[in-house]
Amino acid sequence: MSQRKSLVRCLAPLLLAWGGVGAIPAQAATDCPALLQHTFPRLQDEKPQNLCQYSGKVLLVVNTASYCGFTGQYKGLEALYDRYRGQGLVVLGFPSNDFGRQEPGSAQAIADFCENTFGVRFPMLSKTEVSGRGANAFYKQLAQRTGEAPTWNFHKYLIDRQGQAVLSFASAQDPATPAFAQFIEKLLSKK
């Protein structure tokens, strides 16, 4: 029994350093809010992106679709990212085909569309499910915290710097309005 404990103690640092799929190093896990302890592939190249890298930032999380009546909101989302990223705002896009099959394309097609049509530079993650039983764990937590799951494309969640307070906004909330910017500014002002 003591040999087994000794082996575990020897291997644990190696396993933590290696990281494994979806694993978070011990130090990062202690500094990262539970809500952000998720890893998703990046849209452009499928490299794993741990959301803990955004700890201490204000996050605007949006489920997106290329063929939706709200797709023009990409322009407002990119403008917010450009305007406030120096103050700590990160916009995270999660393409989803959950509503009306309005995001049928491949990762490459989605990435090309976002960049070429709207000049999107904010982080985009791979296509995922954001509603219902198949929703990814991050979106399930967002819905649980706010009591509101996305019911259509371009549903927005604002997460404070501590990863605790989460605000929910329906798809019709235009990110380009001054009222929406005020919500972001309020969260950015809190250190």
Q: Which residues are catalytic?
A: 68
DSSP state of 115: H
Distances in Å between the alpha carbon of 161 and those of 33, 175, 187? 9, 19, 7
Pairing verdict, β 89-95 and 58-64: parallel
DSSP state of 48: E
Give the amino acid at 16: L
Q: Which residues of 33-69 are buried (b: 16+ CB within 10 A; e: fewer)?
A: bebbbbbbeebbeeeebbbbebbebbbbbbbbbbebe
Are 98 and 131 contacting, i.e. CB atoms less than 8 angstroms apart? Answer: yes
Beta bridge partners of 64: 95
The pair of three-digit structure tokens given for residue 140, joined into one six-digit string? 């399930």
